[in-house]
Chains A and B, each alone.
Chain A
Amino acid sequence: MNPVAWLALEQLLGPLDPADRAVLEPGVDLRTYDPGHAVAWEGHPSRAMYLLMQGCVRFSATRPAGGQEVVGYLRPLTLLGHAAVVAREPYLSTVAAVEPSTCIRISAGLLDSGAPASRRVVLRLRKAAILAMNQQLRAVNARLLTMASPEELVAGMAVDLGAWTLPGPPPEASPGHRTG
């Protein structure tokens, strides 16, 4: 199955016609990650956002006093790296696989495509990124508001940032794009 077909899920871009697919295909591919391997590094230029299809990834960010603090986990069918891509800023955190994980890599360049033929699908891509950010902010807000003690935070802010339900098995990972 072509990774673009996954983007046509209702929770993401919705149905894509051949023209939409033609816009997306050059900027989309599948990548697989072994546990401990990074998908994105905090502070590095954000050249892509990723849709986690299988596995689990952990977000961590640098503490002022040094070291890394876990700031959240993502499960399948959630976007990652999209906040940095939308803001055209470096990645906000380091994202690493905690289980064997498969992601669809979506080139940041797709969001900047201003050609009239691309406009509709680019708007849907931007909208998907915004909805994902909103969902993640709400998840963090809900966690903060229900936390009973600061120790829960001090012990590690393991916010499950939520996910949609995976509708079926993901496609076979392309062996040519293993990253680590």
Chain B
Amino acid sequence: MLPFMAGSGPALLSRSFPLIGSLPAAERDRLLRLLAEARHVPGAVLFQQGDPPRDMYLLAQGTLEVWAADATGTPLPLGRVRPGEVLGEMALLDGAPRSATARVVSEAVTFSLSRERWQALVEGGDPLAGWLLDLIGRDLARRIGLMTRRIAEVRDDPAALRRLPADPRARARRWWTLFSRRAR
């Protein structure tokens, strides 16, 4: 079991995901035993678009960038992932190949849960499965909330009204910059 102490990976995780800190100690320790901690250097690729689904990641430290190829194969930036956010969660739920590529921008610490461990939790009716779905659901709801607010306010944002670049990568980067900005 990983020790739960200040400065350790689990402490980072708890700081980035307050919900984890709110779990009863026994449940939190049980969760930590299921997660695999890893450190990643800038430029490392966590997974590639089209890869088979394996793990879900909780980002405790660092920044990742997510890219996906459009219909012509041009890679387009979809957004950045920051500490406290979940990545690759659909690997646990829909079993489809990865829909995007995740690359490390700044040194990152992740905690991953494998699909096999997830399936064991679900099949065993483990309450941690419900708790993890809650964590994933809240993260997706946060993203939908941010998107909804940005769509509602972008009409009043002069940056959105500038002419869009013709290059699809530059255009995508403009959109995700606009849409990842904190809503007012």
Contact = CB atoms under 8 A, between A and B. Distances in A.
Contact of A93 (B134, B148, B160): B148
A157 B147 CA distance: 11
Interface string A136-163: 1110110011111110011001010000
Nearest to B142: A87
Given A133-B140, A145-B70, A122 B130 contact: yes
B153 interface: yes
Nearest to B154: A153
Contact of B155 (A69, A119, A159): A69
B5 interface: no
Contacts of B184: 64
B168 interface: yes
A84 B156 CA distance: 25
Contacts of A120: 125
Interface in A96-142: 114, 116, 119-120, 122-123, 126-127, 129-131, 133-134, 136-138, 140-141
Contacts of B144: 83, 92, 133, 136-137
Contacts of A141: 78
Contacts of B136: 130
A64 B153 contact: yes
B141 interface: yes
B6 interface: no
Interface residues of B, number: 45
A143 B138 CA distance: 23
B140 A134 contact: yes
B122 interface: yes
B155 A86 contact: no
B145 interface: yes
B93 A130 contact: yes
Contact of A63 (B129, B138, B155): B155
B161 A123 contact: no
Contacts of A148: 164
A140 B176 CA distance: 11
Contact of A131 (B93, B99, B156): B93
B143 interface: yes
Interface of A: 59-65, 68-69, 71-72, 83-84, 86-87, 89, 92-93, 114, 116, 119-120, 122-123, 126-127, 129-131, 133-134, 136-138, 140-141, 144-150, 153-154, 157, 159
6 contacts: A59-B148, A64-B152, A144-B175, A147-B164, A154-B160, A157-B154
